[in-house]
Amino acid sequence: MKKWLRLVVLSFLICGVWLSSGIPVSLAHGNVSVAYSDITLEHNTIKYVLQLDMYDMMAEVNPDDPDLALTTAEVLNKFFSNHQAEVKHLLLTKIQLYADGLPLEGKLTQFRYIEKENEMQPFAEAVIEYPVKRNPQQFTLDYNLVFDRDQWHVNYVNLTLGELKKEAVLIAQITKLQVGELKLPGILQHFPLLGVEQSFRSYESILVLAILILGFQSTKPALRTLAIFAATQSLTLLLSGLHVIALPDRLLNALIPLSVVFLALSIYYNRTMKELPWIAGGLGIIHGFRYASPLVGLREDVGHFALSVTAFYAGLEASVLLITLSLLISINYFRKVKYSTAFILGAAALVGLFSFTIKVFF
């Protein structure tokens, strides 16, 4: 009996020495995959704070990492130093936020690991900020982290966005959280303004309008050509806005600046182009896709989808009309200045070339 007792005591001593000898500590994942999401609104910014089990974060970013199960300071610091870009891409693609049906663009502002109360394992904490122009009436969260790898993953969500408040639990079968309702007054206030903003952001389209006006010596043929451009861009704007057709962003980023260069040089070397109305129609088709770009991610499940697109269209077209009239008046005035037409065409071509270089190569 004493012999067995000595063996038991000796075994405990050996285990104690082994555990205290600097063997790396493994993640106490315990088959519990959990995350906590806190979503708030601060100073026109939606702040998303995600706390995710450190094991899950490491496994999502680099599942083949040989140090995946370790929690030593050296391993964690190495992960945070070497995988910032991968973490940013992962979070911004797997987590999608929508305000009033439109996708938000986020920026990862903080990323660190923390010890969370009542949790055995360390957690990764990420802060993503999404700028907004107003308090949303309707909000949607699409959360698709971990579920592909672990169907038992759970995300506890606490949301406070002005009057929108909700607590929810997201699981593999429920990955979407929606709260609020997009109402008619909000649509009529928000989407026309969005269309106006887009018309002024589309500076390449403004250049095309100016170049088309410069292609004619009199106002009437210029107006007919501008009407053709407006008709074709309206068609693609509506079809793209309603998600009937679409073009890849990379293709548009190349085609639209090049269209400015092509049109400016064509008119510079041939002031009497008979094909100009046909060219205007083709360019209108291309530029209509750019005008519709804010509506590409518009959700169809938030209600009043067609009305939202129509309100955006009305605001944009009204603004484009005012821009066109302003260009007509300004260009007719500057025509009196010698070499003004050549200068404007040359400047437009350079702007188009610069825009193409930036958008395609950088």
Task: Collect all residues with Cβ–Cβ distance below 8 Å to 126 and sequence separation of at least 6.
Answer: 49, 50, 52, 87, 91, 108, 110, 111
User: How does 292-320 read in b/e, with b if 16+ C-beta sit within 10 Å?
Assistant: bbbbeebbeebebbeebbbbbbebbbebb
Token code pair at residue 209: 């309008």
Q: Is 160 in contact with 179 (CB distance < 8 Å)?
A: no
Residue-wise pLDDT tens digits, 85-96: 999 999 999 999
Residue-wise pLDDT tens digits, 46-59: 999 999 999 999 99
DSSP of 199-218:
HHH-HHHHHHHHHHHHT-SS
- Helices 340-361 and 203-214, axial angle in degrees (round to 10): 150
Residue-wise pLDDT tens digits, 315-341: 999 999 999 999 999 999 988 888 899
Residue whose C-alpha is closest to residue 279's, from 234, 327, 229: 229
* 236 pLDDT more than 80: yes
Beta-carbon count within 10 A of 359 CB: 16
* Lowest-confidence segment of 32-36, 191-195, 320-324 by average pLDDT: 32-36
Strand order of the sheet with strand 107-114? Answer: 107-114, 123-131, 45-53, 34-41, 154-161, 164-170
Q: Is 112 in contact with 80 (CB distance < 8 Å)?
A: yes
Token code pair at residue 262: 């092509």
* 77 pLDDT more than 90: no
285 three-state secondary structure: helix
Residue-wise pLDDT tens digits, 96-110: 999 999 999 999 999
Q: Is 95 in contact with 170 (CB distance < 8 Å)?
A: no
Which three-class secondary structure string do you get for 56-80?
HHHHHHCCCCCCCCECCHHHHHHHH
* Lowest-confidence segment of 64-73, 128-137, 270-279, 350-359 by average pLDDT: 64-73
What is the amino acid identity at position 15?
C
Give the span between the Cα atoms of 276 and 196, in whole angstroms.
27
CB half-sphere exposure, 342, CA atoms < 13 A: 4
Mean pLDDT of 251-266: 96
pLDDT band at 31 (very low <50, low <70, confident <90, very high): low
Token code pair at residue 85: 């870009």
What is the average pLDDT score of the chain?
89
Give the span between the Cα atoms of 20 and 22, in whole angstroms.
6
pLDDT band at 167 (very low <50, low <70, confident <90, very high): very high
Give the span between the Cα atoms of 221 and 91, in whole angstroms.
52
* 19 pLDDT more than 50: no
According to DSSP, residue 174 is labeled B
Q: Is 157 in contact with 169 (CB distance < 8 Å)?
A: yes
What proportion of the chain, given as a percentage, has pLDDT over 90? 75
Residue whose C-alpha is closest to residue 128's, from 235, 22, 46: 46
